Every structure is written in C-alpha cells, then in structure tokens.
Amino acid sequence: MSTLWNGCLADTDYFEMRSGSGHDYGVWVTTPPGYDPATAPAPAVYVLDGNWAVGLTAPLIVTQLDPMQRIQPYLQVSVGYAGEDAQHWDRLRNRDLVPPGEPIAKELIDAVEMGVRMGARTREEADAYLAELRDTHADAFLAFLTTELHPRIERDYRTATSGHGLFGYSYGGLFSLYTWLTGSTLFETIGAGSPGVAGEDSRIFAQLQELGDSRNAAKLHVTLNERELLGDLPIYQSLTKNTATVLHRLTARGEAVTSTILRETHVTGLQASFLSYLRTCRAQ
C-alpha cells in the first residue's frame, strides 16, 4: 500500500482479483502484529463489504495484543470491489451476498423508495439497487471465496490449515447465515451481524427446513441492534423479528449458536458487531 494508507491501515496489503465468473474484487489483507508464518501461521478471518468495513474492522487486529482480553491470532481478509465497481459497492453486494431466489421484501422496497423521497438515492440509483436483487448469486460468491480467493491467501500468506472465520453485516450477515446453513467446511466460526432476513419467506427458512437431523460443527454468533428492534422503521423491525425466529429455531435444535443485542443502530452497529464476534468466537 502507499505510505499514506499504510499509516492508516498498518500491516495491510491490497490487491485486485478477477473471479472465474468475471467480477473484479478488491482485497485488503491485514496481518497480525509481528506476524511470522514460518513459526506461527494464523488462520484467516474473511470480512465482507470491504469498501465500507475495512476501515472500521481492520484496526481491531490490535486486540490480539490486548492484555485485558486477548484475541486468538488471525489475519484479516477484507473483500470488496475494485476499479469503477468500488463506487457501486452498495448495490453490487446485493448480487453477491443475497441467496439465489431470495424474495424482495415489501419493507425493503418501501425503504428504498423512502430513500428516493428523502434524496438519499436518485431514481436511477434506486432502480439499479433493486435490479441487483432480482438476480442474486451468493452461491457463486461463496465459491469464489472458498475455491479461488482462499487458496491464494493460503499460498501467499502461509496461513494456518484450520481455524478460519467469516464475518458479515446486514446483507453480509445474511450471507453469513446462508454460508453457515450450506455447511461450508472452510469456516470454523461465523459472525452474522444484523442479518438481512427481510421477509418471512426468506430462503434462510427454507434452508433451515432442509437441515433435517444434521448438525453444523461451525460456531455461529449473531448480533442485533437495540435501535433496530425499538425504532420505527419497518425494514429493521422486520429484520430483527425474522432473525429472532431463526435464532429460536436454531437453539431449539441444539446448534452451536450464540447471540447478543447491541446498543447501536443498523448503521453504527458494524464495528461493535465485529468486536462481539471476536470476543465470543475468537477469545484466547
């Protein structure tokens, strides 16, 4: 990285990678303090929405030196979008993070339309945002992470062979739930912050039914935000209600799932959610 950026994100490399499906991704790799893979290789923690999340989450890698509550060593791989796509990350993530066939909830459409009325989005931006939700490919993005990106990280950074994690927030949290429910074997811990289970007909509920009697070995940690639950925005009320239903069904099955409610809004909850994941799933 440049000297300027390295001063903000210490021990962070950046590269761009084209997936087998032809999409370009930006990847930030932040190594632990004093990382020496020859003597102590660390597992990777993949963080989604890198264009937004890297600045809020990568600095928390110093928790590995916190004497009050040390976190197990990890290197962080933040995955976002590259080139001109970077300025459209908030709609392109719909394509990559939402499960195939996920219905578009009325509450979400209403929220997008409210954004147009308030001037947060243009009509063109809103239409492009919703268009990405009509053809979603979380399966392809998961394949990119596990079969294309991870082998490169494993080779170039000589990571540990086990202990890898995944963290996503909002639609990234929905992707985390989707990944956990698919039974992906790469990740041993998964954090799902305020997962975007926007409708009662979400594909997540179908995946739950498809689990049958099988048990998932990966630990799942879910966070929600108090202001989502108690606020007056229907999209966040729906999100918290549906996620709570998912949690009830998982705990009833005896799955390895933990959860907590944070005193945040949907926007401010990202960093707090990631820290909650580290403390719960990666404490030393």
Q: What is the pLDDT of residues 85-135, one digit of tens each?
A: 999 999 999 999 999 999 999 999 999 999 999 999 999 999 999 999 999
207-240 pLDDT tens trace: 999 988 888 889 999 999 999 999 999 999 999 9
- Cα torsion 173, 178, 180, 183 to 10°: value is -160
Phi, psi of 139 (to 5 degrees): -65, -40
Inter-residue contact 275 to 165 (CB < 8 Å) = no
Helix (H) or strand (E) holding 104, with range, is none
Helix (H) or strand (E) holding 25, with range, is strand 24-30
Say what the pTM is.
Answer: 0.96
Six-digit token pair at 72?
């197990």
Q: Which residue has the tokens 């990666």?
A: 282
Amino acid in position 72 = Q
**pLDDT tier at 6, thresholds 50, 70, 90:** low
> How many CB atoms are located within 10 Å of the residue 103 CB?
13
Six-digit token pair at 13?
């490399």
Q: What is the distance in angstroms between the CA of the first residue and the CA of the last residue of the chain?
A: 30
Give the separation between CA 4 and CA 107, rounded to whole angstroms: 42
| Phi-psi sector, 246: left (phi>0), alpha (psi -120 to 50), beta | alpha
Strand partners, 165: 45, 189
Is pLDDT above 80 for 1?
no
Comparing 67-71, 105-109, 258-262, the range with the smallest average pLDDT is 67-71
Amino acid in position 42 = A
> Residue 135 class from Cβ within 10 Å (0-12 exposed, 13-18 middle, 19+ buried)?
exposed
- Residue 120 confidence (pLDDT): 92
Across residues 259-270, what is the average pLDDT?
Answer: 97
Inter-residue contact 266 to 234 (CB < 8 Å) = no
- Residue 7 confidence (pLDDT): 58
Is pLDDT above 90 for 283?
yes
Mean pLDDT of the chain: 94
For the chain, domains (ranges, CATH) are 3-281 (3.40.50.1820)
136-175 pLDDT tens trace: 999 999 999 999 999 999 999 999 999 999 999 999 999 9
Is pLDDT above 50 for 31?
yes
- Residue 10 confidence (pLDDT): 82
- Residue 4 confidence (pLDDT): 47
Task: Give rounded-to-5 percent helix, strand, coil for the chain.
Answer: 50, 20, 35
> Residue 188 class from Cβ within 10 Å (0-12 exposed, 13-18 middle, 19+ buried)?
middle
- Residue 5 confidence (pLDDT): 54
